[in-house]
Structure 1
Amino acid sequence: MPHLPDDDAWLLESRRAIGDRVRVERLRQNRTQESVFLAAQVGRTTYQGVEAGTVDARTSTLLRIARVLGVHVSDLLR
């Protein structure tokens, strides 16, 4: 069986990468966090956690954010 990286470190790195992609797209569109989380109907704390990579976001949350940003959810997860 291959050796896998520590789950916590791997998950943290992955969540941060997703958050970075969300933030980059939001800033590219010159939008505020507030405009995105309100349009996505996601709580402020949840949205900020997604961007920071500290929240284990639900699929529905990522789908809502992607829709508001006008990107496919796979663009955030790649």
Structure 2
Amino acid sequence: MASNNTASALEKEQIFGLAEKEMEYRVELFNKLTHTCFNKCIEKKYKESELNMSENSCIDRCVSKYWQVTNLVGQLLGTNRPPV
């Protein structure tokens, strides 16, 4: 019975490890997407406190293309998720 408790504890540790890696992956993906689209779409000199229409459109297109490309690359690499 003690071996069952040990096995389940080991499985839980592995599950938490995988969940932690997945969270790190998602945070890194989000940070790269944010950085890429911000640098591409937002002017370096801030003129207004809010995004203008062209910046909003650019960000929408950038995020959409970013997801399409990362999903495509992920499929080409044979993984279920896009690479970071």
TM value normalised by structure 1? 0.40
Greater fraction of residues in helix:
2
- Bigger Rg, which one: 2
| Greater relative CO, 1 or 2 (CA 8 Å, sep 6+) | 1
